[in-house]
Amino acid sequence: MRQSMTGSCYGTPGLAPIAGALFVATSMFLSGTGASYSVKDVNQWRGFVQPKVHFGLSKLENHGDTDNGPVDIRTISEHLSNVRDTLSPSMSELAKDLGITRQALYKWLSGDSQPDDIGKAGYIIELSRLADRFNEAGVENAKLMSKMKAFDGLSIIDLIKRGDDWKSSVNLLIDEARQLKIAGVKANLTGSKSTPTDGWMSSVSIPGSGMKE
């Protein structure tokens, strides 16, 4: 309210729209995706909500919990591309694992739409992070390694599906894969003049890699 020269009070209509706009913007940021997210877990859900929300998150990162490490700013489309390029899953199989149609999956891949289920988005992100680890370690046949039944009859993708912590498992898988490849190359070189292959690795189960209950 403002006071006129005559002493009467009158409203300032410009303030109401501004306040309303701020309220709407805040509401969009907190619940525009149809779900609530903890600021502490910003690294986990940022890639899921960023395509839908155009607000910067730098201030939240600076004042939030920094124990989660670098913030992953990739979109779901980028995560899917990473998974497809590195792990080379069948799109039909991946769609089945996610409980969606292939058409919906291709829309996510193209960026035309986004998953409305944070669980599905989280699964894609974890697969992408697995792909990152294989790429960082220089694993040449990540598709084969990701399907190897090395953990009590389970693959590392099976562990991700179950929601298990796969971080130590992938390190073991990478270390053993290097040793197995060296052994395989030596076996190929000493026993045959043909080009060395890594097809023998597909049925290997790493000794002592059983998952603890």
Domain ranges of the chain: 141-213
DSSP-derived letter for residue 10 is E
Rounded to whole angstroms, the Cα distance separating 67 from 94 reads 31
Q: How confident is the model over 12-40, as pLDDT tens digits?
A: 445 444 445 444 444 444 444 444 445 45
Residue range 154-165: average pLDDT?
95
Question: How confident is the prediction for the chain on average, in pLDDT?
Answer: 73
> In the prediction, which pLDDT does 112 show?
97
- Give the C-alpha distances (Å, rounded to integers) separating 56 from 16, 29, 76, 144: 25, 10, 17, 39
Q: How confident is the model over 178-192, as pLDDT tens digits?
A: 887 788 777 776 665
Q: How confident is the model over 45-89, as pLDDT tens digits?
A: 555 555 554 333 433 344 444 455 678 899 999 999 999 999 999
Residue 109 backbone dihedrals phi, psi, to 5 degrees: -65, -40
DSSP H or E segment with residue 134: helix 118-137
> In the prediction, which pLDDT does 119 show?
96
